[in-house]
Chain A
Amino acid sequence: MSQFYTQTDHFVLLPGLLLTLFGCATLLFDFWLVPEARYKKLLVGWLIAAEAFTGASLYRHTTYLADNGLTELVAFRGSLVMDGFSIFFNWVFLATAVIVALISYRYLEIEGEHHGEYYGLILLAQSGMFFLAAGTDLVTIFVGLELMAISFYVMVGFLRADRRSNEAAMKYLLLGAFSSGFLVYGFSVMYGMSGSTRLSDIAASFAARDPWDPIAFLALATTVVGLLFKISAVPFHMWAPDAYEGAPTTVTAFLSVGSKAASFAFLMRIFLGPLAASREVWEPILIGVAILSMTVGNLAAISQTNVKRLLAYSSISHAGYILLGLIAGNDTGLKGVAIYVLVYTFMNLGAFLVIVALRRENIIGEDVEDLAGLMHRGPGYAILMLIFMLSLAGIPPTAGFIGKYYIFLSLMQTGHYLVAVAAALYVAVAIYYYFRIVRSMFVSDVSEPTPLAASLGMRVAVAVSAGLTLAIGLYPEPFLQMAQTSLIR
């Protein structure tokens, strides 16, 4: 091996490399081995095999770091890093991708668009997420971001005969490109300031300048706008409800969880790396954005009749809560962000799983009324949906409570009392609209007696999501330790 691709480079790159290679191989296999539509579901097994290899290499990263007493291993001359943070987030992406693949095949069959490319796109999007979480170089991070984003643009428009899907893909593409433009502009100013694309060099050049220096502020402002677009925080949220509603529900689940977790990983790398020195500038901005996100997200969710739109607004408000952990900024807060992202992954995926199960032949099943009387026709799904709704609202003993608990605790520790009070008030608002869904399921009469679409993959996915949502709530210790290892040092 040459000095430009050393063994360390290879070892650190391994998960991303595996995902990319398996993703490309999926496209080939699709043609050669499973040309017939009814065998396409075998590709789910193939995807799980890919994830098993990826998981094994992530596990090797963890043990390698532990055995050698390292906190990080840097590769590609500082372009890529393997630390607790990237390993933690990559496990989240892995879990998300597996669950999404499990629920997808039945849904895509019903929609009549079951193609192998879908699974290839999942793997390639996940490899983009890997580079987002592990990249420590602006160019690597940006290429990873686009890798993820372009895969998502295609997946959002995957139902080609459905006009809503086409429209959503178009809107998402245009606003995504727009926000990337902001981000790249900020990156270019950062490069101009420091003469380097490494996050550590940029951090040094930010630290050497006055935080209110116009150039530093220009770099900060444009980068922050781009980042907030990606996590769909108010006032840059307008793309989210339309994209979430129009996309195939399985893709909405992936988008609202995977893409958001990856964007948060990226955001944390930027805010805790280069922008750490300008905290006094961005802290008030982020407080404003977080409060606005919770306000708009929660209040707009109240009047929604489409469940996917409702969950889109609720995910906007969750982004606000996660930002609060970063605002507090102490160890509890950053641990809170990690644990919140983990919890949010399972509870939000779970809620979308139930919506996916409601999609049957000739029934769209996306309105709150479609959930009416679910208790009588699918009691299992109704009870699991109740768990997910309780968790999303943040009520103990579910996982959502643990996530919110650490966020609030960190706000108290750092003296952000007013912000904590506002955030707590919005929890009450959130309970109202989550319980509209619950009331519809348990109190209303059955409006549509057709049984739910259930498949083996769906059952496994729902069981895993609900199990973890309860497990993190009841026995959070191992998950807290995992989050503890994810702190950026």
Chain B
Amino acid sequence: MDPILFFIFAAVAVICAISLIVQKHPIKSALSLIGVMGSLAILYLLLGAEFIAAAQLIVYAGAIMVLFVFVIMLLNAGEEKSPARPSWFAKLLGIPLMIALLGILSYVIQRAAPEGSLAFGEYTGGAREVGRALFTTYLLPFEITSVLILIAILGAVVLAKKEL
């Protein structure tokens, strides 16, 4: 069952990713991106990483995509007017470069993959482990992050308030 689900959602992710680039209207692109994020979350879930799957949905599909859609609506961006034609030069240079990049990436990833195969659901890091790590090993960076957020709020107030 797991491999079948994997192929379904991997295919959905790739199709949505292509649609993201091909779509002319920014809102349609944004919706395709949500599709990519959602199917990635399911792939994580298949690997047994519930926490990452939930974080993927909440942070990317939730918070970040809302921001994207907000900005698109604020700018009132309409359908993209396509330029006359992509230049021959771009095609000539871009396609081989893209193939080369994909080749290098797949070579590196292949080499880096550990020996033996990974089973679905083998990964056991859940919310409990993440929480424990945050309050023990990563206590210090976790606490500094709170100061970081404070500065971000302070910066927003300083830069945006009319009268200080």
- Could you tell me which A residues sit within 8 Å of B by CB distance? 4-5, 13, 20, 24, 27, 76-77, 79-80, 113, 115, 117, 120-121, 124, 127, 131, 137, 139-140, 142-144, 146-147, 150-151, 153-154, 157-158, 160, 169, 192, 214-215, 218
Contacts and interface: CB of A to CB of B under 8 A. Distances in A.
Given A147-B144, A150-B155, A4 B135 contact: yes
A215 B111 contact: yes
B139 A154 contact: no
Contacts of B71: none
Contacts of A137: 140-141
Nearest to B148: A147
Given A121-B158, A143-B144, A146-B148, 13 more contacts: A4-B136, A24-B147, A80-B140, A117-B158, A124-B147, A124-B151, A137-B140, A142-B141, A143-B145, A144-B144, A150-B155, A169-B159, A192-B112
B147 A154 contact: no
B154 interface: yes
B151 A147 contact: yes
Nearest to B149: A150
B164 A115 contact: yes
Nearest to A12: B140
A241 to B, nearest CB: 22
B154 A121 contact: yes
Contacts of B21: none
10 contacts: A20-B147, A24-B150, A77-B137, A113-B164, A121-B151, A121-B158, A139-B141, A140-B144, A154-B159, A215-B111
Given A147-B147, A215-B111, A115 B158 contact: yes
A142 B151 CA distance: 15
Interface residues of B, number: 24
B97 interface: no
Contact of B139 (A4, A143, A157): A4
Contacts of A215: 108, 111-112
A474 B7 CA distance: 73
Interface string B90-133: 00000000000000000110011000000000000000000000
Instruction: Please indicate which of the listed interface residues B136, B140, B159 has the most CB atoms of chain A within 10 Å of its own CB.
Output: B140
Contacts of A142: 141
A356 B139 CA distance: 41
A214 B111 CA distance: 9
A154 B155 contact: yes
A24 B149 CA distance: 12
A250 to B, nearest CB: 15
B64 to A, nearest CB: 14
B155 A27 contact: no
Contact of B152 (A115, A120, A150): A150
A143 B148 contact: yes
Nearest to A141: B141
Interface of B: 107-108, 111-112, 135-141, 144-145, 147-148, 150-152, 154-155, 157-159, 164
Contacts of A158: 158
A256 to B, nearest CB: 20
Contacts of A192: 112
A334 B148 CA distance: 31
A410 B5 CA distance: 61
Interface centre among A120, A139, A218 (most CB of B within 10 A): A139
Contacts of B157: 117
A5 B142 CA distance: 13
Nearest to A115: B164
A142 B142 CA distance: 12
Contact of B140 (A76, A147, A169): A76
Contacts of B164: 113, 115, 117
B141 A143 contact: yes
Nearest to B157: A117
A139 B148 CA distance: 13
Contacts of A117: 154, 157-158, 164
A27 B159 contact: no
A418 B140 CA distance: 45
Contacts of B138: 79, 139
Contacts of A153: 155
B154 A120 contact: yes
Contacts of B139: 4-5, 76
Of A153, A154, A192, which is in contact with the most chain B CB atoms at under 10 Å from its CB?
Answer: A154
B154 A27 contact: yes
B107 to A, nearest CB: 8
Q: Which 3 A-B pairs have CB atoms at the shortest separation, nearest pair first? A: A154-B155, A139-B141, A76-B140
A77 B150 CA distance: 26
A5 B112 CA distance: 37
A214 B140 contact: no
Nearest to B104: A214
A443 B164 CA distance: 44
A131 B111 contact: no
Contact of A140 (B112, B140, B152): B140
A124 B155 CA distance: 12
Contacts of A76: 139-140
A124 B149 CA distance: 12
Contacts of A150: 148, 151-152, 155
Contact of A154 (B137, B140, B154): B154
Max chain B C-beta neighbours (<10 A), residue from A76, A121, A218 = A76
Contacts of A131: 144
B125 to A, nearest CB: 12
B43 to A, nearest CB: 18
A154 B111 contact: no
A147 to B, nearest CB: 5
A113 B147 CA distance: 24
A325 B38 CA distance: 49
B89 to A, nearest CB: 24
B141 A154 contact: no
B52 to A, nearest CB: 14
